[in-house]
């Protein structure tokens, strides 16, 4: 919800949230966020991939699934999260975009290109 920029002050369309919903695949389950009248830009989709690498995005138009795809986490992440090291050059007001290399995917771990620090809490450091 934070990535999608939705909070109690700016809700202007119908939002449904389902937690622990049976997925129809055996005894698997999923969580769902459904927002009406909203298309996602690529930065938003990339941020979702950072914290939910198995997420699926479905675009529904006129009650039918118009598009459906899995998010994809690239090997390099640029400008989506800040480095957690306050002394990193990316946090010093220099014109340097934060850049990370994906060093693990389950769970997702990012290493700063500039100071080598592993970003511990990705969701709290999203830009």
Work out whether 96 is an interface residue with Zn ion (CB under 5 A): no
Region from 20-28, 53-61, 70-78, 107-115 binding Zn ion, contact rule CB under 5 A: 107-115
Q: Report whether 75 contacts 103 (CB < 8 A).
A: no
Position 115 contacts Zn ion (CB under 5 A): yes
Selected range binding Zn ion among 4-12, 47-55, 60-68, 76-84, rule: CB under 5 A = 76-84
**DSSP-assigned states of every residue in 42-88:** HHHHHHHHHH-TT-EEEEEETTEEEEEEE----SEEESSB--S-TTS
Q: Contacting Zn ion (CB under 5 A), which of 3, 50, 77, 88?
A: 88
Phi then psi for residue 9, to 5 deg, are -95, -15
What residues line the site for Zn ion (CB under 5 A)? 83, 85, 88, 112, 114-115
């Amino acid at each position: 919800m934070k990535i999608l920029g939705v909070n109690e002050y700016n809700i202007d369309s119908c939002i449904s949230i389902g937690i622990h919903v049976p997925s129809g695949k055996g005894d698997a389950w999923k969580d769902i966020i459904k927002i009406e009248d909203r298309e996602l830009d690529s930065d938003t989709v990339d941020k979702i991939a950072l914290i939910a690498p198995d997420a699926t995005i479905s675009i529904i138009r006129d009650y039918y699934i118009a598009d459906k795809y899995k998010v994809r986490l690239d090997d390099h992440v640029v400008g989506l999260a800040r480095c957690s090291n306050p002394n990193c050059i990316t946090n010093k007001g220099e014109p340097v975009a934060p850049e990370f290399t994906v060093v693990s995917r389950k769970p997702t771990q990012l290493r700063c290109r500039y100071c080598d620090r592993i970003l511990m809490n990705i969701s709290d450091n999203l830009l």
